[in-house]
Structure 1
Amino acid sequence: MSGSADSGGGEQSKSTSLHTVQEVFRSVSGMVEAVRVKLETRGVREKVDELAKELAREDLWDNPDRAGKISREHAALADMIESLDAFTTAMDNAVEMATMADEEGETQVIADCLSELDQIETQVKRFHLNMLLDHPADRLGCIIELAAGAGGTESCDWTEMLLDMYKRWGEQSGYQSTITDTSPGTEAGLRSAVLQISGLNAYGWAKAETGVHRMVRISEYDSNGRRQTCFAQVNVMPLMDDDDDNFIEIDPADLKIDTYRASGAGGQHVNTTESAVRVTHLPTGVIAQCQAERSQHRNKAMAMSVLRSRLLERKLQAERDARREQRNSLGDNSWGNQIRSYVLHPYKLVKDHRTNHETPQALAVLKGEPEYLTPFMESYLAQTAADEDAVQGGESTSSA
Structure 2
Amino acid sequence: MLNDLEFAYTPVRDKVRDLREYLDSARLRKELAVIENKLSDPALWANAALSQPLMRDRRRYEDQLASDDELVRRAGDIEAYFDLAREGESVESDLEREIKSLSDYVEKLEERTMLSGENDALNAIVTVHPGAGGTESQDWAEMLMRMYLRWAEQQGFKTEMNDYQDGEEAGIKSATFTVTGDYAFGLLSGETGVHRLVRISPFDQAKRRHTSFASVFISPEIDDSIEIDIKPDDIRTDTYRSGGKGGQHVNTTDSAVRITHIPTNIVVQCQNERSQHKNREKAMKMLRSRLYEYELDKKKAESKKLEDSKLDINFGSQIRSYVLQPYRIAKDHRTKVEVGDVDKVLDGFLDPFIRGYLLMRRNGGVPVVADVGDDLE
Cα pair 2:84 2:91 within 8 Å, conserved: no
- Kindly report which structure 2 residues correspond to 1:115-264, keeping only aligned pairs within 5 A, or say none: 115-241=97-223, 243-244=224-225, 246=226, 248-264=227-243
Q: 1:22 to 1:305 in 2, by over 3 A?
A: closer
Distance in 2, matches of 1:316 and 1:30, equals: 35
Residue 89 of structure 1 deviates from its aligned partner by: 2.6
Cα pair 2:193 2:216 within 8 Å, conserved: yes
Secondary structure at 2:149 match in 1: helix
Distance in 2, matches of 1:306 and 1:177, equals: 14
Residue type of the alignment partner of 2:338:
E
Q: 1:230 to 1:251 in 2, by over 3 A?
A: closer
Deviates more, 1:196-205 or 1:315-324: 315-324
Deviation string for 1:99-131 (max 9, x for gaps)?
4422x345x535643542342132122112112
Distance in 2, matches of 1:193 and 1:58, equals: 42
Q: How many residues are paired up? A: 363
Residue type of the alignment partner of 2:169:
E
Q: 1:95 to 1:306 in 2, by over 3 A?
A: same
- Could you tell me which residue of structure 1 aligns to residue 266 of structure 2? 286
Is 1:309 the equivalent of 2:309? no
Distance in 1, matches of 2:133 and 2:238, equals: 32
Residue 70 of structure 1 deviates from its aligned partner by: 8.1
Distance in 2, matches of 1:206 and 1:269, equals: 29
Residue identity over aligned pairs, in percent, reads: 36
Cα pair 2:152 2:179 within 8 Å, conserved: yes
Residue 294 of structure 1 deviates from its aligned partner by: 2.2
Cα pair 1:259 1:274 within 8 Å, conserved: no
Which is richer in helix?
1
Give ranges in structure 2 of 5+ residues lacking alignment.
368-377
- Kindly report which structure 2 residues correspond to 1:44-123, keeping only aligned pairs within 5 A, or say none: 45-46=32-33, 49=36, 53=40, 74-75=58-59, 77-102=61-86, 104-106=87-89, 109-110=91-92, 112-123=94-105
Is 1:28 the equivalent of 2:15? yes
Secondary structure at 1:157 match in 2: helix
Distance in 2, matches of 1:69 and 1:261, equals: 37
Distance in 1, matches of 2:279 and 2:355, equals: 34
Choose from 312, 330, 342 the match for 1:362: 342
Cα pair 2:243 2:250 within 8 Å, conserved: no
Residue type of the alignment partner of 1:195:
F
Deviation string for 1:257-277 (max 9, x for gaps)?
423222534679966533232
Residue 307 of structure 1 deviates from its aligned partner by: 0.6
- Could you tell me which residue of structure 2 aligns to residue 384 of structure 1? 361
Q: 1:328 to 1:389 in 2, by over 3 A?
A: closer
Distance in 2, matches of 1:216 and 1:124, equals: 35
TM-score normalised by L of structure 1:
0.79
Residue 225 of structure 1 deviates from its aligned partner by: 1.7
Distance in 2, matches of 1:226 and 1:47, equals: 64
Cα pair 1:349 1:358 within 8 Å, conserved: yes
Q: 1:284 to 1:151 in 2, by over 3 A?
A: closer
Q: 1:18 to 1:377 in 2, by over 3 A?
A: closer
Distance in 2, matches of 1:194 and 1:375, equals: 24
Distance in 2, matches of 1:269 and 1:352, equals: 38
Deviation string for 1:171-208 (max 9, x for gaps)?
22121111111222222111211111122211010111
Choose from 304, 310, 317 the match for 1:337: 317
Residue type of the alignment partner of 1:188:
A
Residue type of the alignment partner of 1:227:
R
Residue type of the alignment partner of 1:202:
A
Cα RMSD, aligned residues only: 3.5
Cα pair 1:24 1:117 within 8 Å, conserved: no
Residue type of the alignment partner of 1:383:
M
Q: 1:50 to 1:168 in 2, by over 3 A?
A: farther
TM-score normalised by L of structure 2:
0.83
Cα pair 1:261 1:270 within 8 Å, conserved: no
Cα pair 1:52 1:74 within 8 Å, conserved: no
Secondary structure at 1:178 match in 2: strand
